[in-house]
Amino acid sequence: MLTQQEVSSAALNLEGLSVSAPDGRALISSANMSFHPGVTALTGPNGCGKSTLLRSIAMLHPVAGGTISLGRLQGSRDRSGFLSQLVFMPQNFPVYPTMTAQEFLEYPLRLRGAATAQARAIAAEWLQTVGLQSAAKALCGTYSQGMRQRLGLACALQLDVPLYLLDEPFAGVDAEWREVMLNLLFRLCADRIALISTHHVDEVLGRGANHIQLSQGQLVMACPAMR
């Protein structure tokens, strides 16, 4: 576990990172990059490896070479410790269809040590924050794509961790809620590392995000944040 001070200052370091696609095609070769607190947008054409990079950092996809570390934690040495410091939100956010939204938000909270009453309270508040309180008792399987994404963001942001890995978090969310969620993300992740893959660069750059582009197997700092 990282201390409270480390949480707000830890950097995510990729050293000599190489990642291959499941079919063996090289996606990223020997990349070196350090991510500091703040929101970083990962962009690039379809199939360039944005999601695979996020999955590799979340230890869901093997790295062909190099190391990934968060502060003093290295995933390959202490998987459980490393995973406890991050939240991963997959693309097209998946849900357990037979759980209600309230139960769905409570589950990760319980898995991370929240007591029953505490989990219930936090989940209820986050449902209100993402505008799903009227559908809180509905089964997640009946949610639309946009509602699932909002639920996914609530699922991720309700946890206070140093690293957020969000894969296309706003896909399918309507314009009004997109604005709200973006503001929330930037406010809550000002002193946390948030890596988001997106195709809508303007809306995140306008809020002062870093911009990393995946180009020809390299991570290229396209536009450092003006902060």
Partner 1 sequence: MSSHALKQFNIPEGTRPAGNFRAACAVVWAELILNRRDTNLPVILAILAGLCLLLTPAESAPYAILTFGGLKPLMSAGTRLITAGIVLDLLLFPFLLLRLGAGYARDRQLGMAAFVSSCPLDRSRMVAARILANTILVFGFYAVLLVLLSCAVASREKQVPAAWAIAAFLLVTIPSAFLSLPLGAALDRWLGGNRLLHAAAAFAVYLLLLTSALFAGADAFGLLLLKENWPPSVSSTSFSIGLVSAPRGGGISWNIETIPRAFIYRQGFLIFAAILAAAAVSWLARFNATGKDARIQGAEYSPDSAPSATRDVVRLRPRKIAYVQGAWAMARRWFTRSAWSWMAAAVALVLSAIYPHALRIGAVAALLIPLLIANRGHLTAGGALRDLELSSAALWRPTPALFTSIVLASITALAVLPVLLTAPIFVSLQLLLGIFTACLWLTWTCAQLNRPLLGISTYALVWYLEGFSDLPPGLDLMGLRGSNGLAFGITAAACLVLAIACFRGDQVTSQRSRSFGSALKQFLRRAG
Binding of partner 1 at residue 183 (CB under 8 A)?
A: yes
Quote the least distance from Cβ 47 to partner 1, whole Å. Answer: 15
- Of the pair 168, 213, the CB lying nearest partner 1 is at 168
- Of the pair 158, 198, the CB lying nearest partner 1 is at 158
Q: Which of 14, 49, 55, 193 binds partner 1 (CB under 8 A)?
A: 55
Binding of partner 1 at residue 180 (CB under 8 A)?
A: yes
Quote the least distance from Cβ 209 to partner 1, whole Å. Answer: 17
- Of the pair 75, 211, the CB lying nearest partner 1 is at 75
Region from 30-38, 40-48, 100-108, 216-224 binding partner 1, contact rule CB under 8 A: 100-108
Query: Which of 180, 183, 154, 179 is CA-nearest to residue 166?
Result: 154
Does residue 182 contact residue 207 with C-beta atoms inside 8 Å?
A: yes
Secondary structure of residue 89 in the 3-state scheme: strand
Residue 120 dihedral angles phi and psi, to the nearest 5°: -65, -45
Binding of partner 1 at residue 23 (CB under 8 A)?
A: yes
Does residue 139 contact residue 190 with C-beta atoms inside 8 Å?
A: no
How far from each other are the two terminal CA atoms of the chain, in whole angstroms? 29
Angle among Cα 118, 37, 32 to the nearest 5 degrees reads 130
Does residue 46 contact residue 37 with C-beta atoms inside 8 Å?
A: no
Quote the least distance from Cβ 150 to partner 1, whole Å. Answer: 10
How far is residue 191's CA from residue 7's CA, in Å, rounded to a whole number?
Answer: 9
Does residue 195 contact residue 13 with C-beta atoms inside 8 Å?
A: no
Q: Which of 94, 199, 208, 218 binds partner 1 (CB under 8 A)?
A: 94
Binding of partner 1 at residue 43 (CB under 8 A)?
A: no
Which residues contribute to the site for partner 1 (CB under 8 A)?
1, 22-24, 55, 58-62, 79-84, 86-88, 90-99, 103, 107-114, 118-119, 121-122, 125-126, 128-129, 131-135, 138, 141-144, 147, 157-161, 176-177, 179-180, 183-184, 187-188
